Structure 1
């Protein structure tokens, strides 16, 4: 099965008018929506992309990855490789374990990694990513509380699940899931980040297309069955998506309804995998519906509220909570506009490597600019010119990824905009040549840390 079947909304108990209203509400949202797909009764009834984004392109899912890691754990349990009760320390060697194993670390079980109840007082992922020895760092951190007593969202816990699975299966997580989940679903484009110590990151880093994520949503609705095969035990799907732990101390409405095995519970008897900046696989079993969204927003609750206000009423057979809005004729994210950039002098200005990735800028007399970005994979020149988006590729990624660029000016500046289309990220570089040098105000639309930096040429 290469793709999900398509259907008219009316054949599945909805109307095109209601779905147009939902799309209009998403488009009007302050949360930049990039793609959306709605699966109802096993059929795609809505699929939209905001140009230049495409439904078919892989998209970085961030913590939606965790829900796929949960599937791998369920498969490994079914295969007799581990149990929920197994102690975490039992999977690791003496040189990875601390010299003294505290009471709480000794008591930590696989189930505590799955339910984010490891006993840590905060997410361990920042500490882990400071060094390549991530397993050893996790095991050496203080476990302040008894495991199982409190929910603390912890991406490091999911990384440890991936590490355990790799020890048990002899395969990285993606390779383990390919024949067991991805290939049966027809998901061939999946990539998954690997840590510096050679372990699939597990809690983040998976990239698949919007339709592939929609297939996963339908697979969950079918309780692990796909085309007549039970890929993952139905009992595991039921357990993983049920409320296994209380998280009602959290602030936002749809993040305080309970947590399962790497799945969030949600209002209206729904559950989901979600990822930073608005990546969603929302499953509504009562309505045989899955909602898939990729986006770039800082308020994920706002997107959930849009679903509840504009889609849920239709699924429940009632009028929407707000009046119907006109749907835009075309769904697109246009390049920023402004005066033509000031012509450059053709000189190349260089910068110290920073988190922005920018290491050199050349502004040419024809009003175009060349921006050199660096990563651990090398450097790449990206050309930016005024007008419509120009498509290029980010060859510093493997496989290479689509990007689009544009530029505009104003007050003697050259502002380049680069959209990395297989992620939520949009970078802008506002260049101000002066006094034989250049200052660049670098900004990114969303980030886990600061979004703005000022660079001065060497």
Structure 2
């Protein structure tokens, strides 16, 4: 008995072995898998991420996946996450809406990004008509820089998303958002980088999705399945709708982690998946071009974020789908890198910093040189 007790004490005193890296398993979902070590990755650093999630250093993370030039090289699920879980990626859905805008333009349903938004909804009354509304374009919505007074970061904003969610008709709400003004400390478009004043607006992204619905004459979810999900072999997904049944292009879609990685890889490869051109290469390039300055440390494309991270000691621009809770799909096209991080840390202050830390300190630091 005493010997057993001593053995238990000694065992408890020994350091716990770090989790070793294991390559992903091949399935029939279209993913090629590879051993990151054979591709030159620092798998000790990459594998140590498992322990940091397990010991609570990173909280409420449900999955981390890494793709290297079209090959899945890391896949791990945590905290009740699983390969079959449909992750609610919240505002990362906005980037999907940008892809659908491009697909609708390619099919001729929408002439181009300069298409005037209000022309698609002539039957919806506007309480305060203003000739300036007629000049609002689809590009204004997908760059978060329209003249509508809409700011999700300001609880007093007339267009704040929480006000839209409790309205009976979201589309009427979005089209009736007042014209914005500019406080003395806010730069006007002509004085802003890229000539646009950025203001994060979920109602605008929702409105962009509604334009796609009107233009294509099909529900947003069905159009997404036809032009995006089916070509990628994505079979399980959930799209939300507004209270009146309009597809929710502003957030809340649910995808499996491997399917999110497919979407990221599609963008990393210029709109191609397994050699098939799913989205126009020119549209992907336009999405991943800065059109507005979102913050001092981030620019904005067409519903895609552009962050800056150190890669090999050099500040590098990385594109991302980003959503509440710390949900991300990071894309670094020139390195063929895609990283998916899903999380349920909704409305937590640590959510985005910790997901970015995972990407910066574990994925980028272990990246093959």
TM-score, structure 2 normalization:
0.79
Deviation at 1:243, TM superposition (A): 1.2
Alignment counterpart, residue 331 of structure 2, candidates 268, 283, 286: 283
Instruction: Name 1:44's counterpart in structure 2.
Output: 72
Cα distance per residue 1:40-89 (max 9 Å; x no partner): 12111111111532122211111111111111100111122222111111
Query: Does residue 5 in structure 1 map to residue 32 in structure 2?
Result: yes
SS where residue 73 of structure 2 aligns?
strand
Structure holding more helix per residue = 2
Instruction: Tell me the equivalent position of 1:139.
Output: 175
Deviation at 1:106, TM superposition (A): 2.6
Cα deviations by residue, 1:174-198 (Å, 9 ceiling, x for unpaired): 1012121101111000110111111
CA distance in 1, matches of 2:125, 2:93: 27
1:301 equivalent in structure 2: 353
**Given the superposition, is the C-alpha separation of residues 31 and 105 from structure 1 closer, same or farther in structure 2, using an over 3 Å criterion?**
farther
Q: Deviations over 1:111-138 (max 9, x none)?
A: 0110001122513322222222111111
Deviation of 1:100 (Å): 4.1
3-state secondary structure, aligned to 1:246: strand
Question: Greater relative contact order (Cα 8 A, min sep 6): structure 1 or 2?
Answer: 2
Structure 2: stretches of 5+ with no match in the other structure: 1-27, 153-158, 182-187, 190-194, 309-315
Asked if the contact 2:269/2:333 (under 8 Å) is kept, the reply is: no
Residue equivalent to 2:364: 312
Counterpart for residue 363 of structure 1: none
- Mapped to 1, the partners of 2:358 and 2:52 lie a distance apart of 7
CA contact (8 A) 1:271 1:283 kept: yes
Counterpart in the other structure of 2:120:
91
| Contact 1:269–1:285 (8 Å) recurs in 2 | no
Q: The residue matched to 2:225 in structure 1 has which SS?
A: helix
More strand by share: 1
Q: Structure 1 segments of 4 or more deviating over 6 A?
A: none
8 Å CA contact retained: 1:279, 1:293? yes
Change (3 A) 1:245 1:218: same
Matched position secondary structure for 2:300: coil
Query: Which runs of 5 or more residues in structure 1 are unaligned?
Result: 250-255, 318-458
Partners of 1:162 and 1:177 lie apart in 2 by: 11
2:162 counterpart of 1:126: yes
Q: Secondary structure at the residue paired with 2:298?
A: coil
**C-alpha distance in 2 between matches for 1:172 and 1:202:** 11
- Offset, 1:240: 0.6
Residue 181, structure 1, aligned to residue 209, structure 2: no
Checking the alignment, whether the CA contact within 8 Å between 1:258 and 1:265 is kept in structure 2 is yes
Residue equivalent to 2:48: 21
Q: For the Cα contact (< 8 Å) 2:40–2:368, is it kept in 1?
A: no
- Deviation, structure 1 residue 16: 2.6
1:257 aligns with 2:309: no
Distance 1:91 1:31 in 2: 44
How far is 1:287 from its partner? 2.2
The residue that corresponds to 1:161 in the other structure is: 208
Partners of 1:228 and 1:20 lie apart in 2 by 31
The SS at the match of 1:57 is coil
Tell me, in whole angstroms, the C-alpha distance in 2 between the residues paired with 1:121 and 1:193.
21
Deviations along 1:216-263, one digit per CA (max 9) or x if unpaired, are 1111111111122211001111111221111235xxxxxx32001111
Q: 1:47 to 1:30 in 2, by over 3 A?
A: closer
Q: Give the 3 Å change call, closer, same or farther, for CA 245–316 of structure 1 in structure 2.
A: farther
Structure 1 position 104, deviation (Å)? 3.6
Matching residue within 31, 35, 40 for 2:59: 31
Say which SS state the counterpart of residue 46 (structure 2) adopts.
Answer: helix
Q: Distance in 1 between matches of 2:242 and 2:70?
A: 36
* d(CA) in 2 for partners of 1:183, 1:307: 29
Q: TM-score, normalised by structure 1?
A: 0.64
Q: How far apart, in 2, do the equivalents of 1:34 and 1:99 lie? A: 45
Aligned to 2:321, the other structure's residue is in SS state strand
Q: Is the 8 A contact 2:41 2:368 kept in 1?
A: no
The reply on whether 1:60 has 2:107 as its aligned counterpart is: no
Bigger radius of gyration, 1 or 2?
A: 1
Cα offset, 1:23, TM superposition: 3.0
